[in-house]
Amino acid sequence: MTMTQVQTTQVYEVYIKASAQKVWDAITDPEWTQKYAYRGRQEFDLRPGGTFKAFSTADMRKFGAPEVLIDGEVIEFDPPRKLVHTWHAYFSEETTTEPPTRLTYEIEEAPSGFTRLTVIHELEGAPVHAEIVASKWAENQGGGWSWILSDLKSFLETGKTLSD
């Protein structure tokens, strides 16, 4: 596998016509997380030291994905403004052997009714993770953070995902 040089800290920002609480819920509520992007259930134990788990879908498991696709530990949470947790993917043998990374969601509501969502993914020492989360959208494969956040925005603003 040939790796290109990617940033070890990746920052993504999107503006969403929704309240900060609605954005927070879409990120942290298991019922919401199944409605956009990869449509996998995510569960948070929202307390310092609490667990984070992202589960694969039945279709993903048919192709050999483990039940828990990503896990981590909650470091900080301040609903609906900030969530920080570790993030360790089990996509492949390469990602499994890399160390956990750090993921921060910053949510800021503007008086005019939109919310700025900033995602900061710190990927020091995890070049395979860095390559994957920076990936571009590909037909029938999804993409990295840009695609996930675009799908979240579309879903919250229109009720439809990019694939609907």
Q: Does residue 164 form part of some domain?
A: no
**Residues composing the chain:** 164
pLDDT at 8: 87
Q: How many domains does the chain have?
A: 1
Contact 144, 134 (CB under 8 A): yes
Distance CA 86, CA 13 (A): 19
Distinct helix (H) and strand (E) counts, the chain: 6, 7
Distance CA 103, CA 84 (A): 6
pLDDT at 129: 87
pLDDT at 1: 37
Q: Does residue 2 form part of some domain?
A: no
What CATH number should be reported for the domain holding residue 141? 3.30.530.20
pLDDT at 130: 86
Q: Does residue 4 form part of some domain?
A: no
Q: Does residue 61 form part of some domain?
A: yes
pLDDT at 137: 60
Q: Does residue 1 form part of some domain?
A: no
Q: Does residue 152 form part of some domain?
A: yes
Partners of 102 in the β-ladder:
86, 122
pLDDT at 2: 42
Mean pLDDT by 10 residues, the chain (164 residues): 64 96 97 92 96 95 93 97 97 93 97 94 91 70 82 96 85
Q: Does residue 3 form part of some domain?
A: no
At 16, is the secondary structure helix, strand, or coil?
strand
In which region does residue 121 sit, left (phi positive, over 0), alpha (psi from -120 to 50) or beta (all else)?
A: beta
Give the range of the structural domain holding residue 43, as residue numbers without chain letter: 9-158
